[in-house]
């Protein structure tokens, strides 16, 4: 079995769909990191940005897992 397609197939995606979703998650996490970095210096900025991003990602990933279990 091809290691590039095994996991994507296991989660009901093709290689490019999995790539796009992983890239989306990575982009959102980078935004959260930047917000945390700025917040560390200026605590009055981005007070909930990182936690909001992470919560939304958690729900999105959990929803994908639920869809996967339906198949």
Reported as a pLDDT band with limits 50, 70 and 90, residue 5 is: very high
Per-residue confidence (pLDDT) for residue 41, from 0 to 100 = 98
Q: Measuring CA to CA, which residue among 8, 68, 64, 58 is closest to residue 28?
A: 58
Q: Does residue 68 have a pLDDT over 80?
A: no
pLDDT tens-place string over residues 17-58: 999 999 999 999 999 999 999 999 999 999 999 999 999 999
Q: Is the dihedral of CA 43, 45, 47, 51 positive or negative?
A: negative
> What per-residue confidence (pLDDT) applies to 39?
98
DSSP alpha helix (H) spans, 1-71 = 3-10, 15-41, 49-70
Residue 66 has pLDDT above 80, yes or no: no
**Tokens at residue 61, please?**
């990933």
**Cα distance between the two ends of the chain:** 21
Domain boundaries, the chain: 25-71
């Amino acid at each position: 079995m091809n290691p590039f397609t095994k996991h994507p197939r296991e989660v009901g995606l093709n290689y490019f769909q999995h790539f796009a979703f992983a890239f989306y998650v990575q982009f959102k996490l980078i935004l959260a990191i930047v917000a945390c970095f700025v917040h560390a210096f200026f605590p009055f900025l981005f007070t909930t940005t990182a936690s909001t991003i992470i919560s939304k990602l958690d729900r999105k990933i959990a929803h994908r897992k639920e869809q996967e279990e339906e198949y």
